A and B are shown apart, each in its own frame.
Chain A
Amino acid sequence: MNNKIINWFKFASPQSFYPLAGRMIPWFWALTAIFTVAGLWISFFVAPTDAQQGEGYRIIFIHVPASWMSMFIYLVLAFWAGLGLALNTRLSGMMAQALAPTGALMAFLSLWTGAFWGKPMWGTWWVWDARLTSELILFFLYIGFIALQAAIDDPRRADKAGAILALVGAVNIPIIYFSVKWWNTLHQGSSVNLAKSSMAQTMLWGMLLMALAFWMYAIAVALTRARAIILERERHTEWIKEVVR
């Protein structure tokens, strides 16, 4: 029993995580490249032109995976945050901090591509659609998390404060989403309807591949960033001096 716990915590220490992450990063980059090439190829050359939306719809191959990832990364971030608070492991806070910018990027991408899509489809850059609005608020939550962590000097305190904020945010995201949805149905009725009709099989494949590509990218970037954070925070320890030398 005791032995097992020690084994677990072995990987939770920055010292053993650092080389492990270093070995994993190239693999995730390779997977990112493979999935991106395959996904883009399907979405641009294989997937048929949409009957109603023409070629413009192809932006959903970026838009939808980015939206998925922005939400998923927040969940992962909250998970690391909760783990950090419960077990007081240093690595959890570093992972949460490493994930946040990628999550914010995904939320921003999702908003931006949403606007690009909206212009030809709805004739306007922005509609107060439930999904777009919640995505915007999610983006604010990410920015808040990053800003709070940046404003606190002591990294341990920054981790803990960020963790509480992330958990509060995670509890609030479903509430915000449903409230916005409720608000939206009351105000707009069904004036905006995303063409949800029969999605061709190939489109689904393209989307899935792109989602995988985004996923691998997020992992690779987060690991890289986590390594940088470890280097920065542990720069006074002996093992870092040995690694860097």
Chain B
Amino acid sequence: MLAIIRRDLLIAARRKSEVLTALFFFVIVTSLFPLGIGPEPTLLKKIAPGVLWVAALLATMLGLTRMFAPDHADGTLEQMALAPTPFGLLVAGKVVAHWLVSGLPLVLLAPVLGIQFDLDAGALGILVVALLLGTPLLSLVGAIGAALTLGVRGGGVLLSLLVLPLYVPALIFGAGAVEAHISGLGAGGHLSLLAALLALAVFFAPWATTAALRIALE
């Protein structure tokens, strides 16, 4: 499992542009909202959690199409399925690598963007925690969609159609946590629900992804 994480990180390091594109996408999308809505601080503060979360969601989507497709195209995925190592472990490793490359940078970047929206330190902290719990969830659930649409006509668009509805709970609890903190309700409930969802996804998503990949390889 470590081997596959190391491999994917190495490949990402040699192809930095793809990683950076998704990051800049995140930055640009969040920066467009104030331009479209107007610079009024109270309004911006109110929509900030939602905007940041939706942008993070879309930025993760960008990376999903490349999660398995290159490995499928050059035949290395086939070799992984036939390796003596359990395929599920390798798949889980790929999901972890995907998160490290496309999820973690978003988490680190989010507070900087949050400042643009006039969020205070406490809200920024909650935002980081929520993203830290939520982005692995996005990677895990997204992996199922990426595996299902592997080698399918119009895979990219189809992938968003399949995955975005499944992202709704993560969006609600993630953005809700920050909002609840701002309105003084406390974010604990949201965060623990997000953590529960993550635990559930850790159990089930790799299984479903592996099954979907085996079907794609048939």
Given a CB threshold of 8 Å, the question of whether A touches B is answered with yes
Q: Report if A157 contacts B (CB, 8 A).
A: yes
Does A161 lie within 8 Å of B148, measured CB to CB? yes
- The reply to whether B176 and A186 contact each other, CB–CB distance below 8 Å, is yes
Stretch at the interface among A7-15, A58-66, A136-144, A188-196: A136-144
Interface residues on A, range: 20 to 34
Contact with A along B148-179 (1 / 0, CB 8 A): 11001111001001101110110011001001
* CB within 8 Å of B: which A88-121 residues: none
Most chain B CB within 10 A, of A141, A144, A157, is at A144
A143 to B162, CA, bound (A): 9
- Interface residue tally on B, bucketed by range: 20 to 34
Contacts of A168 in B (CB 8 A): 144, 166, 208
B208 pairs with A164, CB closer than 8 A:
yes
Interface string of A140-178 (1 = CB under 8 A from B): 110110011001100001001100110111011001100
Given contacts A140-B165, A161-B215, A164-B144, contact A152 B173 (CB under 8 A): no
Determine which of A157, A172, A180 lies in contact with B218 in the assembled complex, contact meaning CB atoms within 8 Å.
A157
**In the assembled complex, A179 has its CB within 8 A of some CB on chain B:** yes
Query: From residue A172, how far is it (CB to closest CB) to chain B in Å?
Result: 5
Contacts of A72 in B (CB 8 A): none
Q: Is the CB of B168 within 8 A of A186?
A: no
Inter-chain contacts of A176 with B (CB < 8 A): 165-166, 168-169
Closest residue of A by beta carbon distance from B215: A160
Main secondary structure of the interface of B (DSSP, over half): helix
Number of A-B contacts (CB under 8 A): 76
Q: Whole-angstrom distance between the alpha carbons of A15 and B201 in the complex?
A: 40
A171 to B153 CA separation, bound complex (whole angstroms): 26
Chain B residues with Cβ under 8 A from A169's Cβ? 166
> In the complex, what residues of A have CB within 8 A of residue B165's CB?
137, 140-141, 144, 176
Given contacts A176-B169, A186-B180, contact A148 B158 (CB under 8 A): yes
Contact of A165 with B173 in the complex, beta carbons under 8 Å: no
> In the assembled complex, how far is the CB of residue B107 from the closest CB belonging to chain A, in whole angstroms?
21
B208: chain A residues within 8 A (beta carbon): 164, 167-168
CA distance A228 to B120 in the complex (A): 61
Point out which of A157, A168, A169 has the most chain B C-beta atoms below 10 A from its C-beta.
Answer: A168
Residues in A neighbouring B152, C-beta threshold 8 A = 148, 151-152
Q: From known contacts A168-B144, A179-B169, infer whether A144 and B161 are also in contact, taking CB-CB under 8 Å.
A: yes
Looking at the assembled complex, report how far the CB atom of B55 sits from the nearest CB atom of chain A, in whole angstroms.
Answer: 19
Chain A contacts for B173, CB-based, 8 A: 179, 182
**A148-B172 CB under 8 A given contacts A137-B165, A140-B165, A165-B162:** no
Contacts of A140 in B (CB 8 A): 161, 164-165
A151 to B152, CA, bound (A): 6
Sample of 15 more A-B contacts, CB < 8 Å, known A148-B162, A165-B148, A186-B176: A140-B165, A148-B149, A152-B152, A157-B215, A157-B216, A160-B215, A164-B215, A165-B144, A168-B144, A169-B166, A171-B204, A175-B200, A176-B165, A183-B176, A186-B179
Residues in A lying within 8 Å of B, measured CB to CB: 85, 137, 140-141, 143-144, 147-148, 151-152, 157, 160-161, 164-165, 167-169, 171-172, 175-176, 179-180, 182-183, 186
Q: Residues of B with Cβ closer than 8 Å to A?
A: 144, 148-149, 152-155, 158, 161-162, 164-166, 168-169, 172-173, 176, 179-180, 185, 193, 197, 200, 204, 208, 211-212, 215-216, 218
